[in-house]
Amino acid sequence: MAYVAVKGGERAIDAAHAWLAEARRGDATLPELSLEQIEQQLGLAVDRVMAEGACYDRGLAALAVKQARGDLIEAAFLLRAYRTTLPRFGASLPMDTGAMRLRRRISATYKDLPGGQVLGPTFDYTHRLLDFALAAGGTPPPAPQATPDGEATPRVTGILAQEGLMAPEAPSETEPPDLTREPLSFPAERPLRLQALARGDEGFLLAMGYSTQRGYGNAHPFVGEIRMGEVAVEIAPPELGFPIEIGEITVTECQMVNQFAGSKTEPPQFTRGYGLVFGHGERKAMAMSLVDRALRARELGEEVDAPAQSEEFVLYHCDNVEATGFVEHLKLPHYVDFQSELEKVREMRATVFREAAE
């Protein structure tokens, strides 16, 4: 690939940017969107940008959505670029999602699980009919409230593990690899894969997860549990020497339960795929857990023949900021490359015509 420096477009670029700013604002007689409105009323777009931008900050994500005119991949790109300007203070202690303050918690494997099914603010059970009342606007009546029964909400995977039916996670405090510091290398261990998937493109992961259900990867998954709510984040600054809470973030977690026929060393049991994403991102968390399970094929001694089971295929292509960079770079001037291709094709055509004429 080669690029040539092209000068002379500066005025055109300035004019294009001015038009972009005007187009972003739209009809100036209409009220302008505030960041608070985006944060509050387009909250799931903000969540997606935080997840794929790999940076939790609702205000920054709302600004990115506004600046990108609602293009969420562009917004994630803006957030990734901004984060490079900030120093890293350290890493948190691993969050305890078991202690989440739940807004939603459902299981498809146990109807009567301890703590119950909590639906939360969900699109499920809506009729997917356009609601023209929303077009008119207005404030909805307050949602009903009930007294919490205080029942504990243990993880479903824990219930299965008690019976020995679920492969346990090995307890570990190993310092995880960080792909924002070291480039991806293969074979990639599960902590590195999970980091890549957590910031991966929702659409890509959705398609990959879907492919495992349709037979490319031999999965038979059940949603063991999905939970969404607030988790406390703690850090242990060296100057204090003890952990402190720095605030709460909203996350969505999915435990996907999969049958495992067993191997030479392991009896038949269930294994889990894991999904964890910033914000309220249920589709992404589910897709991530399907792909995580598919990527464990090698470790579990299963055959690796489907795209979703290929680490290199999935991890090299799941990042939409990288993907958009490489796809969109094709817009940049390739005049010299193309000139050489042009000459080659002309020459080949001339040869073909000459031979045909002989």
Pick between residue 184 and residue 216 the one whose CB is nearest to another protein.
Answer: 184
Q: How far is the CB of 231 from another protein (least distance, A)?
A: 9
Burial 80-103 (b: 16+ CB within 10 A, else e): beeeeeeeeeeeeeebeeeebeeb
99 binds another protein, rule: CB under 8 A: no
Reading the block at residue 69, the tokens are 């005119």
Site for another protein in 53-72 (CB under 8 A): 54-57, 59-60
Half-sphere exposure of 347 (CA within 13 A, CB side): 6
Site for another protein in 162-221 (CB under 8 A): 169-181, 190-192, 194-195, 198-199
With contacts defined by CB under 8 A, name the span among 10-18, 23-31, 100-108, 331-339 that binds another protein: 100-108
Pick between residue 237 and residue 333 the one whose CB is nearest to another protein.
Answer: 237
Pick between residue 32 and residue 124 the one whose CB is nearest to another protein.
Answer: 124
What region does 138 belong to: left with phi over 0, alpha with psi -120 to 50, or beta?
A: left
Site for another protein in 256-285 (CB under 8 A): 272, 274, 276-278
Pick between residue 216 and residue 233 the one whose CB is nearest to another protein.
Answer: 233
DSSP assigned state of 118: B
Pick between residue 40 and residue 351 the one whose CB is nearest to another protein.
Answer: 40
User: Cβ distance 353 to 18 under 8 Å?
Assistant: no
- Whether omega before 187 lies within 30 degrees of 0, making that bond cis, reads yes
Pick between residue 110 and residue 216 the one whose CB is nearest to another protein.
Answer: 110
User: Cβ distance 282 to 254 under 8 Å?
Assistant: yes
Site for another protein in 220-259 (CB under 8 A): 229, 232-233, 235, 237-240, 244-249, 251, 253, 255
CA distances in angstroms from 33 to 36, 48, 62, 137, listed in the order given: 8, 19, 10, 15
Lookup result for tokens 């293009």:
71
From the list 7, 11, 88, 354, which residue makes contact with another protein (rule: CB under 8 A)? 88
Site for another protein in 323-342 (CB under 8 A): none
Site for another protein in 305-324 (CB under 8 A): none
Pick between residue 176 and residue 203 the one whose CB is nearest to another protein.
Answer: 176
Size of the site for another protein (CB under 8 A): 85
With contacts defined by CB under 8 A, name the span among 15-23, 87-95, 206-214, 258-266 that binds another protein: 87-95
User: Cβ distance 256 to 224 under 8 Å?
Assistant: yes
Name 236's Cβ contacts closer than 8 Å, sequence gap at least 6: 93, 242, 243, 244
CA–CA dist 97, 103 (Å, integer): 13
From the list 78, 157, 258, 285, which residue makes contact with another protein (rule: CB under 8 A)? 157
Reading the block at residue 244, the tokens are 């402190």
With contacts defined by CB under 8 A, name the span among 17-25, 96-104, 213-221, 329-337 that binds another protein: 96-104
